[in-house]
Amino acid sequence: MSHTSDVRGTLKLHGEGSASARPDVAELDLGVVTEAKTAGGAMQDNALRMTRVIGEMKALGILGDGLQTAGISLMPVYDNEEKSPTRGQIIAYRAEDTLRVRCDIEQTGAALDAGIAAGANIASGVRFALKNEVPLREKALAAAVEDAQRAARVVAKALGAKLQPPHLIEIVSTSGASVTRMSKSIEVGTPVEAGTVSVRASIAVERHYHVE
């Protein structure tokens, strides 16, 4: 009489995947800070300079949702000189207006130069991104699934096991696109480096198996 054993169990797997692409859009903040003796004077001077900055952006073809006011503030400036007769009193007003600019990669250097020439005296770090991250996310998820499938095949072969189709698939995480390396220089006015952006995805998979 022959006896056969049939071992059954559950194989738990994790898959990791990533996808990269060149960014196709840049974001930068251009700010105008002005001071004047009166609040109205500070705001008026600030508005005139920011109007020029916006005009230059529009002249570059950056329109609509490519331009957004990120913040406007007005605050008093106090005299902090220890021996000053007006110490602790308001001696001026500071107005600040920040414009968020979203443009094509090729326009980044020109936008920085034009904004500063028009009166912007603050320029924050440039951020690179994708107009549409969905295809890159899908590619990263597909790579994560293939990674889990590959691991399952290796384990099954080593055990001499037969795998059942997955009965549980969980998306553990997908990261947003982020710059991973510098790859391209834009030689328009101020040199700007555009990086490669990447998205990562992680999944968990469970599959039943049996070994005869």
**DSSP secondary structure letters along 106-152:** GGHHHHHHHHHHHT--EE---EEE-S--HHHHHHHHHHHHHHHHHHH
Domain with CATH 3.30.110.170 in the chain: 7-22+132-211
In this predicted structure, the answer to whether residue 186 has a pLDDT above a threshold of 50 is: no
In this predicted structure, the answer to whether residue 3 has a pLDDT above a threshold of 50 is: no
In this predicted structure, the answer to whether residue 185 has a pLDDT above a threshold of 50 is: no
- Mean pLDDT score, 164-189: 64
Under the banding of pLDDT at 50, 70 and 90, the label for residue 190 is: low
In this predicted structure, the answer to whether residue 123 has a pLDDT above a threshold of 80 is: yes
CATH architecture label of 7-22+132-211: 2-Layer Sandwich (3.30)
Domain with CATH 3.30.70.2970 in the chain: 25-129
CB count within 10 Å of CB 157 equals 9
pTM: 0.68
- Mean pLDDT score, 136-164: 93
- Mean pLDDT score, 170-175: 84
CATH architecture label of 25-129: 2-Layer Sandwich (3.30)
